C-alpha cells in the first residue's frame, strides 16, 4: 500500500508540473477562444440552414444541437486527437528517450499523467469564457442549462471517462511510434479517423441509423460524443448509463492495450544501436 502511495505521488507531481506549465500560455488561450467562437457560430449557421429546410427530418432538437456545439468548442482541448505532444515524438525519434528510461518511473504512466495535465489545463483556460458567453446568446443559438442534477452528474462522469479514452488512444499512437521510422503517418491517419467517428465533424445522430449504431460501439464514440449528448438531453436514462458503461469498457481495454505495447517496445528498444 505504501509503495502504491509513493508511486501515485510521483506521477501526481508530473501532473502538477505539466498542468502549471501549460497554464502559462494565456495568449494562445485567448486566440483559441476567438477561433472557437467563430467556428461555433459557423457550425450553428450551417445546421440552422438544414433545420429550416426540413425541421421534422432534423435528428436533434436545435437547442440540443446548440448545447452540443458550444460544449464541443469549450472542451475542445480535452478531446482533440490531433493535439499530441511533439516533445514525446521527438524524444522517441532522436533517442533522447534514453534519459527518461534512466529514471525510476514507468514511461507509460508518466506520459499518461502529462497528457491529462496538458489537456485539462488548456480546457480550463478556454471553457469558462466560452460557456458563460454561450449562455447569454439569443435564441436559438444560446446554450441551454442542464435539465437536472442527475444528468449533470452523469455528464461529469462521462466527461472524465471520455478524457481517459482519448488519452488512452493517444498513448497507443505514442507507443506504436517506437516501431516506425516516422510517426507522421500514424498521427495523420489517427487524427482523421477519430475526428470523423467521434462526432467532431458531424454529430453521430445525423448519420443513418444503422451506421450510427455501429459507430456508437467504437471507442471513438466514447470520447466527446457521449458526454455532449448526455448534457444536451439527446441521450437519457438507461441509454445514458449503457453509454457510460461502454466508455468504461473502452477506457480499460485501451489502457491495457497501450501498456502491453509499451512493455513490448521497452523490451526491444535500442538507442544509437546500443
All residues at 6 or more sequence positions from 23 whose CB lies less than 8 Å from its CB, including other chains? 121, 124, 125
The set of cell numbers assigned to 83 is: 493535439
Determine the length of the chain.
274
Whole-Å CA distances, 77 to 22, 95, 109, 163, 268: 12, 28, 20, 10, 33
Closest CA to 103 of 232, 270, 266: 266
pTM for this entry: 0.89
Q: What is the mean pLDDT of the segment spanning 15-44?
A: 77
Three-state DSSP at 223 gives coil
CB 73 within 8 Å of CB 130: yes
The pLDDT tens digits for 77-109 are 888 887 788 788 888 787 777 777 777 778 888
pLDDT band at 1, cuts 50/70/90? low
Of 256, 41, 243, residue with least CA distance to 141:
41
Domain locations along the chain: 10-268
Give the rounded percent of residues in the chain with a pLDDT score beyond 70: 89
pLDDT reported for residue 7: 60
d(CA 169, CA 150): 29
Query: Region 27-43: what's the mean pLDDT?
Result: 82
* Cβ(160)–Cβ(75) below 8 Å: no
Q: What gap in Å lies between CA 141 and CA 73, rounded to an integer?
A: 14
Half-sphere exposure of 211 (CA within 13 A, CB side): 10
Closest Cα to residue 73, out of 161, 154, 152, 134? Answer: 134
> Residue 228 pLDDT more than 70?
yes
Are 225 and 216 in contact by the 8 Å Cβ rule? The answer is yes
> What SS3 state is found at 110?
helix
Tell me the mean pLDDT in the region 46-53: 88
Amino acid at each position: 500500500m505504501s509503495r502504491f502511495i509513493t508511486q501515485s505521488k510521483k506521477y501526481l507531481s508530473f501532473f502538477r508540473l505539466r498542468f502549471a506549465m501549460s497554464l502559462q500560455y494565456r495568449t494562445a488561450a485567448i486566440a483559441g477562444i476567438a477561433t472557437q467562437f467563430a467556428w461555433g457560430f459557423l457550425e450553428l449557421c450551417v445546421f440552422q440552414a438544414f433545420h429550416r429546410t426540413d425541421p421534422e427530418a432534423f435528428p436533434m432538437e436545435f437547442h440540443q444541437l446548440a448545447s452540443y456545439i458550444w460544449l464541443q468548442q469549450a472542451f475542445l482541448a480535452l478531446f482533440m486527437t490531433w493535439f499530441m505532444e511533439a516533445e514525446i515524438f521527438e524524444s522517441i525519434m532522436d533517442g533522447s528517450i534514453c534519459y527518461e528510461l534512466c529514471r525510476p518511473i514507468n514511461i507509460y504512466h508518466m506520459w499518461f499523467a502529462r497528457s491529462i495535465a496538458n489537456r485539462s489545463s488548456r480546457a480550463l483556460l478556454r471553457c469558462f469564457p466560452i460557456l458563460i458567453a454561450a449562455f447569454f446568446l439569443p435564441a436559438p443559438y444560446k446554450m441551454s442549462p442542464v435539465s437536472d442534477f442527475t444528468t449533470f452528474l452523469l455528464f461529469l462522469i462521462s466527461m472524465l471517462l471520455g478524457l481517459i479514452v482519448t488519452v488512452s488512444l493517444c498513448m497507443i499512437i505514442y507507443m506504436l511510434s517506437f516501431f516506425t521510422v516516422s510517426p507522421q503517418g500514424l498521427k495523420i491517419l489517427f487524427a482523421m479517423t477519430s475526428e470523423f467517428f467521434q462526432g467532431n465533424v458531424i454529430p453521430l445522430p445525423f448519420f443513418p441509423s444503422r451506421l450510427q449504431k455501429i459507430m456508437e460501439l467504437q471507442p471513438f464514440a466514447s470520447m466527446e460524443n457521449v458526454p455532449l449528448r448526455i448534457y444536451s438531453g439527446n441521450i437519457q436514462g438507461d441509454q445514458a448509463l449503457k453509454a457510460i458503461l461502454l466508455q468504461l469498457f473502452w477506457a480499460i481495454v485501451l489502457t491495457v492495450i497501450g501498456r502491453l505495447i509499451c512493455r513490448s517496445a521497452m523490451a526491444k528498444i535500442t538507442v544509437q544501436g546500443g
